[in-house]
Amino acid sequence: MDFNEIGIKAFQEKHYEDAAQAFTQAIDANPEDAVGYINFGTLLAAMNDIERAERFFQKAITVDEKAATAYYGLANLYYEAERYTEAAKLYQKSIDYGVEGADAYYMLGKCFERGEQYKLALPFMQRAAELAPNDIQIRLSYGILLCTLEMFDYALKELQFVIDEDWNNADAHYNLGVLYAVSTTDTEKAMYHLKQAYTLQPEFDQARYIYDMISQRLN
């Protein structure tokens, strides 16, 4: 077991000091290997030491400009700091250099969504949903984005899938209720799902507000 493996094991067990020591040893033993810097950056990010984490990810990229997980780790830091334009570029680089799976596409889509560039977000959110068809959060986010773009027929399928898989998902019920309210004449379904949303989550004031608004309009 090398120093990086020792550090990862300690990190997983939340023995952060031991992990930091192991990653330091990994870097000292092989300073031209980006992996040690990436691991240390990930550890520091988990410890909320953001400035140092950023420096370690940047050092990893200096050592290896194709270190995909370094770009991904740095992108996460920038996303959390609401630096969405920079984060988007880094998520794209992480994909270009080999990060696989849905998460990078999902986060890239979220960057564009946060920047209110909804049409740019769409292909990345769609790709994330294709790669992780059973991921409830991704399918919910994709459905909400489709609603934002008024692609209601497609959104309906996504939101219904989420509810079928997770009946207690208040956000899915809320968005499905709004979808029925704005894109159909089926006020019964709209009110049903809005009521489910605030029943499941009593502090869901927006769901209750829209429900009451529809109810008053019917009376």
* pLDDT at residue 86, as a whole number: 97
- Cβ atoms within 10 A of the Cβ of 192, count? 16
Domain assignments of the chain as residue spans, ordered by start = 167-219
49 within 8 A of 18, measured Cβ to Cβ: no
Residues ≥6 apart with Cβ < 8 Å to 17: none
Residue 1 predicted with pLDDT over 80: no
Give me the DSSP letters along 23-72. Answer: HHHHHHH-TT-HHHHHHHHHHHHHTT-HHHHHHHHHHHHHH-TT-HHHHH
* pLDDT at residue 140, as a whole number: 98
* pLDDT at residue 217, as a whole number: 86
Question: Full-prediction pTM beyond 0.75?
Answer: yes
Handedness of CA 108, 113, 115, 116 (dihedral sign): positive
For residue 80 the two structure tokens come to 């959390």
Which of the four pLDDT bands, split at 50, 70 and 90, describes residue 150? very high
